[in-house]
Structure 1
Amino acid sequence: MSPPGPPEAAPGNPAAPRRPRWGVLALVGLVGLGMVRQGLTGETTGPPQPGAGSALFPGDLPPDGPAPPPLPRSVPSRVAIPSLDVSAPLMPLGLDGNGRIVAPPAEDPGLAGWYANAPTPGENGTAVLVGHVDSRSGPAVFYGLGALEKGRTIRVTREDGRTAVFEVYGIQVFDKRKFPSRKVYGTTGRPELRVLTCGGPYAAGSGYAGNVVVFARMTGSGQGDPPGR
């Protein structure tokens, strides 16, 4: 898995992300995620894909209403998507030599990752989570991501004891050859979250042709693990 690489940390200050290198990001998509679908026992239709009604429309940006106060930087430890019965630990991810995000280990399909040099979930800016869609043994952590609906909640628990709560406002599949980096990673001036996995048509040998991208905005935060919907 080699997702596109969002901002790097500034030299000497790992807590301060740089602006995205759009020239690099535009050349890479979410490559390699779930490229072992042929190993799934009994799998015939593949993971669910977003419907037309889930797409991101122009009216969805900028977000309506005031943004909640951003949180300080804190390492995220777990992501929960209650409507998909997802609750997964998070590991920090960096970039490979080609400027792509290094994948969570394929041998642990229930593990997701966060791009460590971008804003952390709850900070002002766009945080990024990635995970596999499937594995040789079956569905992986974000197998159902394409079935997520607008208005659903994503919760990210952080090491400072706070939980950043996000509301989904768009889910789309993008061709990895034409990955719209500015649209996906660009800032909206408030805390945002993107969750990525593979999707779209699948071909043996080349894998999934597209990337499922969930767009979500922070709606609040609290201590511990608040209920979602």
Structure 2
Amino acid sequence: MAADSSSSPPAEPPADGQSSGRGGRLTLWGAAIAILAVTMFGGHHGSDGSSHASRAAGASAAAQTDPRQAGEALPRSAPTRLVIPKISVDAPFTTLDIGASGQLEPPPTGDTNLVGWYAKGVSPGERGTAVIAGHVDTTTSAAVFAGLDELERGDRFTVQRADGSDAEFVVDSVETFAKDAFPSKRVYADARRPEVRLITCAGDYDHDVRDYTDNLVVFAHLV
């Protein structure tokens, strides 16, 4: 969210370092509870090691609150598939849960075409902020969110839902944040409209700590 991007309380996002791929931590603001530090999804892929440039095409405050730009909230329904035509994503969902460590567990690394949704949080299309996370790569190859940094403001994507409806979202901004300065409140603050955050790892891969340096976040709202 731009200066004061509205988002809602998802709950704990992405992953702990138990994935077999490269790890990446992320801080997430749990719904009206506290800010937790969690590990974000990464993996091994032969990237050039260059960090993703931060592209803040932030939505203006007006765009965040103008009801003419906000889609009408949908009833709760589990997401079944994420379709992002621009970057050729057509991936099924798995549900993510909080592990014994208190961190959100990542999607399985064995399937490179899989995205995860925190099922105890907001569902995509409901009022509030839904969290969708995916690996940028795994130990074997590039993964579902390898091209996420190609999205720009105005791009659209669709979340297909179990009730047969499609929730279409438009991108407000695409931004990269250092993991040690992740703006949890800005990313996960309560939203007055249906919003989604797409999250993956970004930046350089630090072999010493086995972690990426940054997280990439796509801010989007229902249309």
1:210 deviation in Å?
1.0
For residue 100 of structure 1, report the CA deviation from its aligned partner: 2.0
Query: Are the structure 2 counterparts of residues 157 and 99 from structure 1 closer, same or farther at C-alpha, using a change threshold of 3 Å?
Result: same
CA distance, structure 2, for counterparts of residue 112 and residue 81 of structure 1: 12
Larger radius of gyration between Structure 1 and Structure 2? 1
Aligned to 1:134: 137
Deviation at 1:109, TM superposition (A): 1.5
Deviation string for 1:48-99 (max 9, x for gaps)?
A: 72453x4436547524442221000001011011100001000111112333
**Equivalent residue for 1:218?**
222
Structure 1 pair 57/121, CA: closer, same or farther in 2 (3 Å)? closer
Distance in 2, matches of 1:152 and 1:46, equals 26
**In 1, Cα distance between equivalents of 2:50 and 2:82:** 20
* 1:26-54 deviation digits (Å, cap 9, x = unpaired): xx15x2521x42xx3xx2414872453x4
What is the SS of the residue equivalent to 2:186?
helix
Q: 1:44 to 1:212 in 2, by over 3 A?
A: closer
Whole-Å separation in 2 of the counterparts to 1:188 and 1:81: 23
Which amino acid counterpart does residue 32 of structure 2 have in structure 1? Answer: P
Q: TM-score, normalising length from structure 2?
A: 0.81
Query: Alignment partner of 1:167: what SS?
Result: strand
> How many residues are paired up?
198
> Could you tell me which residue of structure 2 aligns to residue 174 of structure 1?
177
Measured in 2, the distance between the counterparts of 1:195 and 1:60 equals 22
2:58 paired with 1:56: yes
Change (3 A) 1:105 1:70: same
Matched, 1:185 2:193: no
Q: Say if 1:170 and 1:202 are closer, same or farther in 2 by CA, change over 3 A.
A: same
Amino-acid identity (%):
37
What's 2:164 paired with? 161
Alignment partner, residue 32 of structure 2:
20
Contact 2:171 2:218 in 1 (8 A): yes
Alpha-carbon distance change, 146 to 106 in structure 1, aligned in 2, over 3 angstroms: same
Q: Structure 1, unaligned stretches of length 5 or more?
A: 8-18, 220-229
- Tell me, in whole angstroms, the C-alpha distance in 2 between the residues paired with 1:99 and 1:47: 31
Change (3 A) 1:158 1:64: same
Q: Give the alignment of 1:26-175 within 5 angstroms.
A: 28-29=37-38, 31-34=39-42, 36-37=43-44, 40=45, 43-46=46-49, 49-52=52-55, 54-56=56-58, 59=61, 62-66=64-68, 67-175=70-178
Distance in 2 (alpha carbons) for counterparts of 1:175 and 1:21 = 23
Per-residue CA deviations over 1:86-126 (Å, capped at 9, x if unaligned) read: 01000111112333211000111111100111110000000
Provide the alpha-carbon RMSD of the alignment.
2.1
In the alignment, what sits opposite 2:200? Answer: 197
Asked if the contact 2:51/2:204 (under 8 Å) is kept, the reply is no
